[in-house]
Amino acid sequence: MSPSLHPFHPLTPNEISKAAAVVRPLFAGQNPSFRVITLREPLKNEMVPFLESEHRGETPGIRPARVARVQVTIPGELGSGKFFELLVDLDQNAVVRREHLVGKHPYIDSSYMQSVEKACMADERIQTEIRKLDLPANASVIVEPWAYATDGLNDMSQRTTMCWFYMRLLQNKDANYYAYPLDLCAEVSEQLQVTKIYHLPSAKDERIREDAKPFDHRKIHSTAASEYHPSLRPAPRTTVKPYQVVQPEGPSFTTQGNFVQWEKWSMHVGFNYREGLTLHDICYDGRSMFYRLSLAEMFVPYGDPRAPFPRKAAFDLGNDGAGINANNLRLGCDCLGLIKYFDGWHTTSSGEPLKLPNVICCHEQDDGILWKHTNFRTENAVVTRARILVLQTIITVSNYEYIFNFQFGQDASIHYEVRATGILSTGPINIGDRVPWGTIVAPGVVAPYHQHLFSLRIDPALDGHANSLQVEESNPLPVDDPSIHNPFGVGYTTSSQIATEEGGLDLDFTKNRTFKIINENVTNPITGTPVGFKLLPSYSQMLLSHPQSYHARRSEFASHAVWVTRYDDDELFPAGKYTMQSTGGDGIASAIESRRKDPAGKASVRNEDIVIWHTFGSTHNPRIEDWPVMPSDKMTVGLKPVNFFTGNPGIDVPVSTQEKNQSVLVQDKGKSGPGCCKL
């Protein structure tokens, strides 16, 4: 390993090969398949001293060991396959931990899913059922395999795959087959055997059936309404004139490997197969703010109560992987202006490094006005524009797309924006029928209600690692308490509590409830209050599934909007480490509960190294406007300094001038004098 490589730097191709080389002999002759070779991030107690000397500008003494986390599966007959996780010390070339994961499953293997599709289509009974449907001559059948969401009806120690069927009417392989769902369903076993075949309910009170109904040809609607691919659409609108971002003097950011610096910000960009983009040691003007920011999990349960639909509930990080499914971002398509790309590295099943090109992009955006004031006495206006640095990754999870953005501001604010786009998951329904848990988006096509629930993991380090969570509310002063002076009934103040124990908390905008991460050991010299950051939450409905349901037990984070926990090196995933066919009980709530029971459990969270988890998302009851491809649905979470600095961190941003901005007047009527541009 190159000595200059930063401990937060993802594994290099060489390190991946090295880790595989160390592990391979242990499974000689067993045909091991490498599922994961990724950085086991440095232990915090080793990393903190390293960062402290780095922040002081000194050469750090001891470097934390470079350790690879490796996941291997060993194929076996009749479910005797095995799943191992190993830690490999890359400095020692040694396996330092080896765990046989019994009853756990690795994340989705796309090549295995392809074999599932083939096995399904090769099955004679399925071919018979397809024939019974009597589909149009030109139709080709598409099998869409999904991970099985635990519902208690099958043994979860074995991997089972749900196969949904669609039909493609056009020869063009980019045709939108989700527009033609078939009422057929199959289950495929670990050993690629089709274990069950049945027909889906196609009316509200129908249940799964043995018998096939011939395909209702009225379901064949105009592709014009169901296609999104330009090659299958009428010519697009011609009214959109080009819009280009020009940065004549280059970007305002600099990168050195994965280390990014921009407008007083500095951070390390990380990437792994599961979380995709991660950010480390985020500082502003040399001051430590956050140790790590990451999207930790997301859960997408569907609301159709009828079997087998409760099996549609995706952990898009734990099961699919935001890294492995990250798009190869293309210049001029996904961003404007000057774009810097980062590649990711993964592993092939044989343990060779696999490049994931352009999985992260880094660029600047104008964000309107940062601050403005006009002195009404002198009529002198001063205005500055806001520039943001965007670190973006986009993932495709079969039908859906998610666009994830970390946005850094010159006012030391951070915003995390999620955009949901892509294609709705669909099911069959009789023409003329309706269901109360879905929207008809095309004749015979229902898009079921579902939720998108994200967990943003915030590992703060505000002027150090001992931080607290303060919950503040704004309350009217009483009018009937003689001891309180409020003669006009208009006074209000704030009350606040500091969380002392781990747990989940809820939002309440009616009280202006504000969640602040503070450092009680550092007092702002002017305000006299602890330095802090506040969470600008995304107000969202929590999980609708019953607390006793498998959905709820598997996605523990989805029951509260804000969680506070004591930092633990191994606690990165609020629905548990192994979500694939999980049966619940290993998420954030269970971890908290077990620490609470454990006498040695570190449950105190006041003035400790804590982690804040924000659950947010949307209850997505589809609109037909989301069809055939969905306009981005935006959700934003913010982090803003609250009495962290001694003034507006963006006060020194240069004023906006026409000389620099080169705007152009359209049909000039009003005089456009120099005004605020003249300074």
Is residue 567 part of the annotated active site? The answer reads: no
Instruction: Considering only residues 250 through 269, tell me which ones interact with its own copies, judged by CB under 8 A.
Output: 250-252, 255, 262-264
**Of the two residues 70 and 615, which places its CB atom closer to its own copies in the complex?**
615
The answer to whether residue 337 forms part of the interface with its own copies (CB under 8 A) is: yes
DSSP 7: T
For the CB of residue 350, give the shortest distance to its own copies in the complex, in Å. 22
| Count of CB atoms situated within 10 Å of the CB of 137 | 4
Instruction: Considering only residues 74 through 113, tell me which ones interact with its own copies, judged by CB under 8 A.
Output: none
Candidate list 3, 377, 481, 570; residue touching its own copies; CB under 8 A: 377
Instruction: Considering only residues 575 through 634, tell me which ones interact with its own copies, judged by CB under 8 A.
Output: 619, 621, 623-632
E strands, 90-180, are 94-100, 140-147, 160-168
| Cα→Cα distances 151→154, 312, 454, 486, Å | 7, 10, 21, 57
For the CB of residue 166, give the shortest distance to its own copies in the complex, in Å. 11
Comparing CA positions, the residue from 355, 364, 361 lying closest to residue 329 is 361
Catalytic residue among 281, 316, 463, 609: 316
For the CB of residue 288, give the shortest distance to its own copies in the complex, in Å. 17
Candidate list 528, 570, 599, 600; residue touching its own copies; CB under 8 A: 528
Candidate list 53, 348, 527, 594; residue touching its own copies; CB under 8 A: 527
Catalytic residue among 178, 273, 291, 400: 400
For the CB of residue 308, give the shortest distance to its own copies in the complex, in Å. 10
Candidate list 524, 583, 590, 607; residue touching its own copies; CB under 8 A: 524
Q: How many degrees, rounded to 5, is the angle at CA 152 between CA 147 and CA 153?
A: 85
Candidate list 336, 466, 498, 505; residue touching its own copies; CB under 8 A: 336
Candidate list 111, 171, 483, 662; residue touching its own copies; CB under 8 A: 662
Which segment (50-58, 273-281, 398-406, 565-573) binds its own copies by CB under 8 A?
Answer: 398-406
The answer to whether residue 542 forms part of the interface with its own copies (CB under 8 A) is: yes
Cα–Cα distance between 49 and 152 in angstroms, integer? 47
For the CB of residue 379, give the shortest distance to its own copies in the complex, in Å. 9
| Cα→Cα distances 18→65, 95, 98, 273, 326, Å | 15, 12, 17, 18, 25
Cα–Cα distance between 549 and 650 in angstroms, integer? 48
The answer to whether residue 497 forms part of the interface with its own copies (CB under 8 A) is: no
Which segment (54-62, 266-274, 463-471, 539-547) binds its own copies by CB under 8 A?
Answer: 539-547
For the CB of residue 41, give the shortest distance to its own copies in the complex, in Å. 23
**Of the two residues 25 and 250, which places its CB atom closer to its own copies in the complex?**
250
Which segment (21-29, 65-73, 94-102, 297-305) binds its own copies by CB under 8 A?
Answer: 297-305
**Contact in structure between 617 and 453 (CB atoms under 8 Å):** yes
**Of the two residues 217 and 372, which places its CB atom closer to its own copies in the complex?**
372
Instruction: Considering only residues 10 through 49, tell me which ones interact with its own copies, judged by CB under 8 A.
Output: none
For the CB of residue 390, give the shortest distance to its own copies in the complex, in Å. 9
For the CB of residue 247, give the shortest distance to its own copies in the complex, in Å. 6
**Of the two residues 142 and 611, which places its CB atom closer to its own copies in the complex?**
142
Is residue 506 part of the annotated active site? The answer reads: no
Candidate list 38, 189, 393, 545; residue touching its own copies; CB under 8 A: 545
Q: How many degrees, rounded to 5, is the angle at CA 262 between CA 257 and CA 264?
A: 120
**Of the two residues 604 and 621, which places its CB atom closer to its own copies in the complex?**
621
For the CB of residue 595, give the shortest distance to its own copies in the complex, in Å. 28
**Contact in structure between 453 and 300 (CB atoms under 8 Å):** yes
Q: What is the DSSP string of 128-140?
A: HHHHHH---TT-E
With tokens 């190294």, the residue in question is: 609
The answer to whether residue 494 forms part of the interface with its own copies (CB under 8 A) is: yes
The answer to whether residue 462 forms part of the interface with its own copies (CB under 8 A) is: no
Helices (H), 509-569: 550-554
Any idea of the CA torsion for 283, 284, 286, 287, to the nearest 10 degrees?
-70
Sort 526 into a burial class: Cβ within 10 Å, 0-12 / 13-18 / 19+. exposed
The answer to whether residue 330 forms part of the interface with its own copies (CB under 8 A) is: yes
Contact residues for 108 (Cβ-Cβ < 8 A; gap 6+)? 147, 319, 320, 321, 580
260 phi/psi in degrees, rounded to 5: -115, 135
Question: Residues in contact with its own copies, total (CB under 8 A)?
Answer: 193
Cα–Cα distance between 170 and 149 in angstroms, integer? 31
DSSP 316: I
DSSP 501: B
> Mask of contacts with its own copies, 632-651, x by CB under 8 A?
x-------xxxxxxxxxxxx
**Contact in structure between 486 and 330 (CB atoms under 8 Å):** no
| Cis before 628 (ω within 30) | yes
Cα–Cα distance between 318 and 299 in angstroms, integer? 9
The answer to whether residue 203 forms part of the interface with its own copies (CB under 8 A) is: no
The answer to whether residue 368 forms part of the interface with its own copies (CB under 8 A) is: yes
The answer to whether residue 483 forms part of the interface with its own copies (CB under 8 A) is: no
Instruction: Considering only residues 122 through 151, tell me which ones interact with its own copies, judged by CB under 8 A.
Output: 151
Candidate list 3, 332, 482, 599; residue touching its own copies; CB under 8 A: 332
For the CB of residue 18, give the shortest distance to its own copies in the complex, in Å. 22
Candidate list 138, 475, 497, 594; residue touching its own copies; CB under 8 A: 475
The answer to whether residue 353 forms part of the interface with its own copies (CB under 8 A) is: no
Cα–Cα distance between 437 and 203 in angstroms, integer? 12
Instruction: Considering only residues 406 through 425, tell me which ones interact with its own copies, judged by CB under 8 A.
Output: 409-413, 419, 421-423
| Cα→Cα distances 530→131, 516, 525, 548, 567, Å | 71, 10, 9, 41, 21
**Of the two residues 255 and 604, which places its CB atom closer to its own copies in the complex?**
255
**Of the two residues 288 and 292, which places its CB atom closer to its own copies in the complex?**
288
For the CB of residue 613, give the shortest distance to its own copies in the complex, in Å. 18
**Of the two residues 67 and 163, which places its CB atom closer to its own copies in the complex?**
163
Cα–Cα distance between 131 and 137 in angstroms, integer? 11
The answer to whether residue 376 forms part of the interface with its own copies (CB under 8 A) is: yes
> Mask of contacts with its own copies, 232-251, x by CB under 8 A?
-xx-xxxxxxxxxxxxxxxx
For the CB of residue 168, give the shortest distance to its own copies in the complex, in Å. 10
Of how many residues is the chain composed?
A: 679
Cα–Cα distance between 358 and 340 in angstroms, integer? 9
**Of the two residues 288 and 407, which places its CB atom closer to its own copies in the complex?**
407
Spell 146-165 as b/e; 16+ CB within 10 A means b.
Answer: bbbbbbeebebebbbbbbbb
With tokens 């030109």, the residue in question is: 138
Q: Which residues are catalytic?
A: 316, 400
